[in-house]
Chain A
């Protein structure tokens, strides 16, 4: 099942990038896709971590939410940068992530880093070391709102 979904995904990807639709070129594309899928199965990377297609429905709501968060914090970081006093209060903190799967943990750590103003500096098990540009950023991560969202994202599908 996962193999079929991977095949469709990379075939569509190939067709879009190629832009040439002569029978010869499409045939080469199809053969390449089949070879890649066969190799993925052989390498054992075709699992919930390598091709997390089951997360796709949940991503429909998670991604817009994350983009909005990114926009909000990008604006506050921009204000801090352009403010003459440079009002920063760098803070390091440790938070516990509640995700159960590796894909979920990676999504949470990457979401923290993607949001301007907070960076995941270290990951040990499910304890993330986070560096925040301002104290409020660290408070935000500690309050666990994003953690909840990612759990929902990971478990919702």
Chain B
């Protein structure tokens, strides 16, 4: 039993490490601020997520596991806020994004299908 948990935990840690390294490579390869932030978001959601999951399996049913869960929650609540602030600051400072396609000028996309929304409770 312990071995199965260990194996699973190592699998998660390795998977997390894979996403961390991929994100780091992306951070270098991407051409501008905005695209680099996409690479960074792989790191702080998936990379950190799997890493902490693996660590939780190592810790077992202890208070440490619950604390790790809190760390994960804090990641998932703060990282989008920070990403958004950074992207907005870059845009406000006139850092022009390199775009393949700009759909901003044609106005907002029509709101999601209204027929579908009325079915919701």
Chain A residues with a Cβ under 8 A of chain B: 13, 16-17, 19, 67, 70-71, 74, 77-78, 81-82, 86, 88-96, 98, 109-111, 113-123, 127, 129, 131, 133, 135, 138, 142-144, 147-148, 151-152, 155-156
Contacts and interface: CB of A to CB of B under 8 A. Distances in A.
A144 B112 contact: yes
B5 interface: no
Interface residues on B, range: 35 or more
B107 A148 contact: no
A135 B41 contact: no
8 contacts: A74-B45, A81-B23, A90-B98, A113-B79, A114-B76, A115-B45, A119-B83, A131-B34
A94 B107 contact: yes
Interface of B is mostly: helix
Interface of B: 19, 22-23, 25-26, 29-30, 32, 34-35, 37-39, 41-42, 45-46, 49, 63, 66-67, 70, 76-77, 79-81, 83-84, 87-88, 91, 97-104, 107-113, 116-117, 120-121
A121 B83 CA distance: 9
Nearest to B76: A114
A70 to B, nearest CB: 5
B97 A92 contact: yes
Contacts of A91: 99-103
Contacts of B83: 113, 119
A67 to B, nearest CB: 8
A14 B113 CA distance: 44
A75 to B, nearest CB: 8
Contacts of A147: 112
Nearest to B79: A114
